[in-house]
Amino acid sequence: MACAAILIPAVALAAAPSASPAPAPAAPSASSAPTPAQPSAGPDAAISPTGGAPAPIAASTPKCTTSGLVVWLDTVGNGTAGSIYYTLHFTNLSGRTCTLGGYPGVSAVNLTGHQLGSAASRNHTGTPQTIVLAPGADATATLQIVEAGNFQISACHQTTAAGLRVFPPNLTASKVVPFPFSACSKTGPVYLSVQAVKHA
């Protein structure tokens, strides 16, 4: 806590007679009063668009539901070092504001909806945040698909997936996104990895 210093000009001291009584101490200025501590933002605080203090997410804002989200994949990927990175989208078409946060559950499936190989691992790049999605707003998650040819044939049993089964974060209902790609039908090799959702 910073206290304001009381400064007495040196000229005034030189001009004062030696017999004069010492001046009464000045009253403390208002700036020397302690500044009350400001409450910190809670874990569910949303960043204010004006750059001010974070505004907490209203407790009445419901979580998004799978039925109110359109789950789709931007099939234009970015390839590097034996992997291709795609963007999963979660568009809120429920007609009401809702919240979404955490990691989606993702796995490859065949034409009958049967899971192929291991489910996606979680890529912990970045910190998961709770996102407020207005009607029509979009959240995204980066999905990494490792080329199945990178794994040993006996460990992978390469096949063509018909699409991706996607569980929105912290929800138990899923949607299947059609998207043919080379996958491992045998569990063990982890060829899928997904990051937490974020604002689009």
**For residue 63, what is the DSSP state?**
B
Please tell me which residue, 169 or 57, carries the higher pLDDT value.
Answer: 169
Q: What is the pTM of this model?
A: 0.71
Q: Domains along the chain?
A: 66-199 (2.60.40)
Cα separation, 88 vs 101, in Å, equals: 14
Largest CA distance in the chain: 105
Task: Retrieve residue 105's tokens.
Answer: 């559950």
User: How sure is the predictor about 178, in pLDDT bands with cuts at 50, 70 and 90?
Assistant: very high
116 alpha-carbon distance from chain centroid: 28
Residue 196 in this model has a pLDDT that exceeds 90 = yes
User: How sure is the predictor about 155, in pLDDT bands with cuts at 50, 70 and 90?
Assistant: very high
DSSP strand pairing (130-133 vs 175-184): unpaired
User: How confident is the model over 106-147, as pLDDT tens digits?
Assistant: 999 999 999 999 999 999 998 999 999 999 999 999 999 999
